[in-house]
């Protein structure tokens, strides 16, 4: 039996590689110390309006705080990582005031959930096939990409995929941090990999570079201040005190990864799905702000950008124009100031005032 289990582990690793994953590892389905901080983090309000993170189990405990409680049958977690980096510049390297920034992970032509899940299902099938005899009859497996009751990066750490950086991203020594994670929970007891050691050392670049001070302390993020949260998850108006720090970010923010030394030599992905859609790398602000409902649907079909909706995209574009220092946007902002959506109107008024009063 023991030799069969170690064979299964080798089969999982091989099938992950064959499926196109860049990294794969096994973590125990145990409650790691990092998960103990989860309830405190929620209680401090750091999850903002992301209520799905607060999902409770039957006992009224946070689902994501304890895999042992929510999936007591699980013994191991297979964590697979797919590199989505491309050859394009980093946000910290482009400075055109007529253009904004969409996060690197959202440039792709395909929904990354599909790209990761399709590969994950191949690994899950290989795992199920590899298990023989009576173990097969009782085997349970579940694959998740962002949808499981699990804090993926904690298990990625214990699977040896990478360490959790001070910017809270998973970082791999060779691949960097442009990684999508997928997990397979299994009832099979597999020998775990060795957790990746923390290689942040004395570096604090991400903390210093964060324009909204969202990294409160190493490894501690307040989503309410994070541009990623503000541009994607936050509905309605964005707090005025944070708008100047948003710069020209339209959807997400890559700054704390762009400045990370471990991403200096991050390789480009070999997965064809992550070729950027036309126009999404450093997109023209005017194009985004003037996008009709039909064009929004066509451009962002299957894209994570749909999450912020067209009104969120135009709200963000208005704020970005206000931060651009480019007064040529004033007439477009006049149009947005009469928009049907309240948050777009209000952001456009703010942006006009900022452009007219800014001396930058
Ligand atoms: S994503 Fe941007 S705003 Fe959020 S912590 Fe990183 S640098 Fe700060
Ligand atoms: S920038 Fe420095 S401190 Fe931040 S995650 Fe990267 S290595 Fe760690």
Ligand 2 centroid to 162 CA: how many Å?
Answer: 13
Kindly indicate whether the domain formed by 205-267+275-357 is annotated with CATH number 1.25.10.10: yes
Is the CB–ligand 1 distance for residue 317 below 6 Å?
A: no
pLDDT for 1 beyond 70: no
| Average pLDDT over every residue of 132-146 | 88
**Predicted pLDDT at 174:** 97
- Which ligand is nearest to the Cα of residue 166, counting in written order? 2
Its pTM surpasses 0.85: yes
Is the CB–ligand 1 distance for residue 210 below 6 Å?
A: yes
How confident is residue 360, by pLDDT bands cut at 50, 70 and 90?
low
What residues are annotated to the active site? 146
Question: At 220, which helix (H) or strand (E)?
Answer: strand 220-221
Rounded distance between C-alpha atoms, residue 69 and residue 61, angstroms: 9
**Predicted pLDDT at 4:** 62
pLDDT over 70, % of the chain: 98
Ligand 2 centroid to 222 CA: how many Å?
Answer: 17
How far CA 268 is from CA of 82, 83, 87, 101, 143, in Å, comes to 11, 7, 6, 19, 26
Nearest alpha carbon, ligand 1 atom 1:
253
Q: Range with the lowest mean pLDDT among 8-22, 34-48, 241-255, 287-301? A: 34-48
**Predicted pLDDT at 5:** 64
Q: Where are the domains of the chain?
A: 2-87+108-186, 205-267+275-357
Q: How many CA atoms lie within 13 A of 302 on its CB side?
A: 12
Q: Give the pair of three-digit tokens for residue 232.
A: 């994607």
Q: Range with the lowest mean pLDDT among 32-36, 84-88, 140-144? A: 32-36
pLDDT for 102 beyond 70: yes
Q: Range with the lowest mean pLDDT among 88-92, 147-151, 270-274? A: 147-151
pLDDT in tens, 37-93: 888 888 888 888 888 788 888 778 888 878 888 899 999 999 999 999 999 999 999
What is the three-state SS of 286-312?
Answer: HHHHCCCHHHHHHHCCCCHHHHHHHHH
Ligand 2 centroid to 167 CA: how many Å?
Answer: 6
Nearest alpha carbon, ligand 1 atom 4:
226
Is residue 293 exposed (0-12), middle (13-18) or buried (19+ Cβ within 10 Å)?
Answer: exposed
pLDDT in tens, 157-199: 999 999 999 999 999 999 999 999 999 999 999 999 999 999 9
How confident is residue 149, by pLDDT bands cut at 50, 70 and 90?
confident
Burial 306-329 (b: 16+ CB within 10 A, else e): bebebbbbbbbbbbbbbbbeeeeb
Largest CA distance in the chain: 74
| Average pLDDT over every residue of 238-266 | 98
| Average pLDDT over every residue of 299-315 | 95
Which ligand 1 atom minimizes the distance to the CA of 245?
A: 3
- Which ligand is nearest to the Cα of residue 168, counting in written order? 2
**Predicted pLDDT at 48:** 83
Task: Name the nearest CA neighbour of 71 among 84, 89, 58.
Answer: 58
How confident is residue 107, by pLDDT bands cut at 50, 70 and 90?
very high
Question: Considering the chain, what is the average pLDDT of its residues?
Answer: 94
């Amino acid at each position: 039996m023991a030799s069969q289990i170690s064979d299964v582990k080798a089969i999982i690793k091989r099938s992950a590689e064959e499926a196109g994953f860049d990294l794969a590892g096994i973590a125990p389905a145990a409650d790691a110390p990092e998960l103990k901080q989860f309830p405190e983090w929620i209680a401090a309000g750091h999850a903002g309006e992301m209520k799905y993170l607060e999902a409770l189990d039957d006992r009224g405990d946070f689902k994501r705080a304890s895999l042992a409680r929510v999936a007591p049958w699980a013994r191991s977690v297979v964590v697979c990582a797919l590199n989505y980096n491309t050859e394009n510049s980093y946000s910290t390297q482009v400075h055109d005031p007529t253009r904004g920034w969409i996060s690197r992970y959202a440039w792709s032509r395909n929904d990354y959930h599909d790209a990761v899940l399709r590969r994950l299902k191949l690994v899950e099938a290989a795992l199920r096939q590899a298990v023989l005899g009576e173990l097969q009859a009782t085997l349970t497996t579940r694959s998740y990409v962002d949808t499981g009751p699990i804090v993926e990066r904690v298990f990625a750490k214990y699977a040896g995929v990478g360490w959790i950086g001070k910017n809270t991203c998973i970082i791999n020594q060779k691949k960097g941090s442009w990684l999508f994670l997928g997990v397979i929970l299994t009832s099979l007891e597999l020998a775990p990999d060795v957790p990746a050691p923390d290689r942040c050392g004395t570096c604090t670049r991400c903390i210093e570079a964060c324009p909204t001070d969202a990294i409160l302390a190493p490894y501690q993020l307040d989503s309410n201040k994070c541009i990623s949260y503000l541009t994607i998850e936050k509905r309605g108006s964005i707090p005025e005190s944070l708008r100047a720090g948003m710069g020209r970010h339209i959807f997400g923010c890559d700054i704390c990864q762009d400045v990370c030394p471990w991403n200096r030599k991050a390789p480009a992905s070999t997965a064809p799905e992550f070729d950027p859609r036309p126009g999404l790398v450093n997109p023209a602000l005017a194009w985004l702000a003037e996008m009709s409902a039909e064009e929004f649907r066509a451009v962002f079909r299957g894209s994570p950008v749909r999450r912020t909706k067209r009104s969120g995209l135009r709200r963000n574009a208005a704020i970005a124009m206000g931060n651009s220092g480019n007064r040529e946007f004033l007439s477009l902002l006049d149009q947005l100031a009469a928009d049907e959506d309240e948050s777009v109107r209000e952001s456009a008024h703010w942006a006009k005032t900022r452009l007219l009063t800014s001396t930058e």
